[in-house]
Amino acid sequence: MTGGMDGRAEDRGRVYQASGDQHITEHHHHGDGSAVPGGPDSVRRPAVGRPPAVLRDRAEVLTRLRESVAAGRGGEAYVLYGMGGCGKTAVAYTLFQLATGEYGRVGLWVSASDRSSLRAGMLAVAADRGAGDGELLAARGGLRPAADLVWQHLDRSAEPWLLVLDNADEPEILRDGSWLRTSPRGTVVVTTRRSAARWWPGAELQHIGVLPREDAARVLQDLAPHSGTQQEADRIAERLGRLPLALTLAGGFLSQQVLDPWTMETYGRRLDETEGVELIDQGADPLSPEDPRHLVGLTWQLTLDAFEARGLPEATALLRLLARFSPEPLPLSLLDHREIGGILPHDRCETALRALLDQSLTELVDVGVRCTQSHGVLLDSVAAATPADKVPPLDTTAVRLLDAAVPAVPDAGPYEPRYRLLVPHVLALLRRAADPRTAADALAVAIRLSVALHRTGDYQAAWETARTAADLGERRLGRPGHRLVLAAHSRAGRSLFRLGRYAEAEGLLRRIRTAQETLLGADDPDTLDSGQGLQLVLGNLGRRDEAAALLRATVAGRRRALGPDHPLTLRSRTSLLALLPAADIAAEDDGTLLSLPEECTRILGPDHTVTLGARHNRAWTLYRLGRFDAAERETRLVTEAYLRRFGPDYPITLSARQLLSRTHVARGRVAAGIEIMTDVLARRERSLGADHPFTVASRELLGDFTSRRGQTDTASS
Q: Please calculate the CA angle 491-493-496 and round it to the nearest 5 degrees.
A: 115
Does a structural domain hold residue 250? yes
**Cβ–Cβ < 8 Å for 439, 433:** yes
Q: Which of 273, 295, 323 is the last residue of a domain?
A: 273
**Cβ–Cβ < 8 Å for 10, 53:** no
SS3 state at 224:
coil
Bridge partners of 103? none
Residue 122's alpha-carbon distances to 98, 170, 329, 685, in angstroms, are: 22, 16, 16, 20
Report the alpha-carbon distance of residue 546 to residue 493 in Å, rounded: 18
CATH number reported for the structural domain that contains residue 672 in this entry:
1.25.40.10
pLDDT digits (tens, 9 = 90+) for 577-595: 999 998 889 888 888 999 9
Does a structural domain hold residue 454? no
pLDDT digits (tens, 9 = 90+) for 342-391: 999 998 999 999 888 766 678 788 888 899 988 665 787 788 788 999 99
Q: Is 580 left (phi over 0), alpha (psi -120 to 50) or beta?
A: beta
Residue 209's alpha-carbon distances to 80, 287, 288, in angstroms, are: 10, 9, 10
pLDDT digits (tens, 9 = 90+) for 291-313: 333 344 554 566 677 788 778 89
Q: Residues in the chain, how many?
A: 717
Question: Would you state the pLDDT for residue 10?
Answer: 42
**Cβ–Cβ < 8 Å for 557, 523:** yes
Does a structural domain hold residue 71? yes
**Cβ–Cβ < 8 Å for 48, 93:** yes
**Cβ–Cβ < 8 Å for 315, 358:** no
**Cβ–Cβ < 8 Å for 493, 530:** yes
| Full residue range of the structural domain in which residue 12 is found | 1-29+212-273
Strand-pair category, 52-55 with 24-26: antiparallel
Amino acid at 28: H
Report the alpha-carbon distance of residue 24 to residue 3 in Å, rounded: 17
Question: Would you state the pLDDT for residue 29?
Answer: 36
Does a structural domain hold residue 94? yes
Report the alpha-carbon distance of residue 430 to residue 515 in Å, rounded: 23
Q: Please calculate the CA angle 169-173-175 and round it to the nearest 5 degrees.
A: 110
User: What is the average pLDDT value for the chain, to the nearest integer?
Assistant: 84
Q: Is 194 in the same domain as 66?
A: yes
Q: Is 203 in the same domain as 239?
A: no
Q: Is 191 in the same domain as 93?
A: yes
**Cβ–Cβ < 8 Å for 393, 438:** no
Report the alpha-carbon distance of residue 140 to residue 414 in Å, rounded: 12
Q: Is 149 in the same domain as 236?
A: no
Q: Is 129 in the same domain as 187?
A: yes
Exposed/middle/buried for residue 260 (C-beta within 10 Å: 0-12, 13-18, 19+) = exposed
Q: Is 197 in the same domain as 112?
A: yes
Q: E strands of 260-409, at which residues?
A: 330-331, 363-366, 370-373
Q: Is 150 in the same domain as 259?
A: no
Question: Would you state the pLDDT for residue 322?
Answer: 96
Does a structural domain hold residue 18? yes
Question: Would you state the pLDDT for residue 300?
Answer: 59
**Cβ–Cβ < 8 Å for 353, 360:** no
Q: Is 229 in the same domain as 174?
A: no
**Cβ–Cβ < 8 Å for 423, 385:** no
Residue 635's alpha-carbon distances to 414, 472, 617, 695, in angstroms, are: 20, 44, 9, 20
**CA dihedral (410, 411, 416, 420) positive or negative:** positive
Q: E strands of 137-218, at which residues?
A: 161-166, 186-192, 204-207
Report the alpha-carbon distance of residue 257 to residue 243 in Å, rounded: 22
CA nearest to 536, candidates 485, 487, 501, 489: 501
Does a structural domain hold residue 676? yes
Question: Would you state the pLDDT for residue 416?
Answer: 86
Q: Is 101 in the same domain as 228?
A: no
Question: Would you state the pLDDT for residue 64?
Answer: 86
CATH number reported for the structural domain that contains residue 134 in this entry:
3.40.50.300
pLDDT digits (tens, 9 = 90+) for 247-264: 776 777 777 765 667 788
Bridge partners of 650? none
Q: How many domains does the chain have?
A: 3
Residue 570's alpha-carbon distances to 448, 607, 615, in angstroms, are: 20, 14, 12
Does a structural domain hold residue 91? yes
Say how far residue 490 (Cα) sits from the centre of its chain. Answer: 21
Q: Which of 186, 207, 228 is the last residue of a domain?
A: 207
SS3 state at 237:
helix
CA nearest to 663, candidates 697, 635, 702, 682: 635
Q: In what order do the strands lie in the sheet with 14-15?
A: 14-15, 24-26, 52-55
Q: Which of 251, 273, 295 is the last residue of a domain?
A: 273
Ranges of residues in the chain whose predicted pLDDT is under 50: 1-40, 53-54, 56, 274-296, 299, 714-717
Report the alpha-carbon distance of residue 312 to residue 350 in Å, rounded: 12
Q: Is 97 in the same domain as 182?
A: yes
Instruction: Give the contacts of 522 (CB within 8 A, at least 6 positions apart).
Output: 553, 557
The helix (run of H) or strand (run of E) holding residue 569 is helix 567-579
Report the alpha-carbon distance of residue 11 to residue 14 in Å, rounded: 9
**Cβ–Cβ < 8 Å for 215, 186:** no
SS3 state at 310:
coil
pLDDT digits (tens, 9 = 90+) for 184-196: 999 999 998 777 7
Does a structural domain hold residue 464? no
Q: Is 119 in the same domain as 235?
A: no
Report the alpha-carbon distance of residue 580 to residue 481 in Å, rounded: 34
Exposed/middle/buried for residue 595 (C-beta within 10 Å: 0-12, 13-18, 19+) = exposed
**Cβ–Cβ < 8 Å for 463, 142:** yes
**Cβ–Cβ < 8 Å for 406, 448:** yes
Question: Would you state the pLDDT for residue 277?
Answer: 29
The helix (run of H) or strand (run of E) holding residue 458 is none
Q: Is 15 in the same domain as 111?
A: no
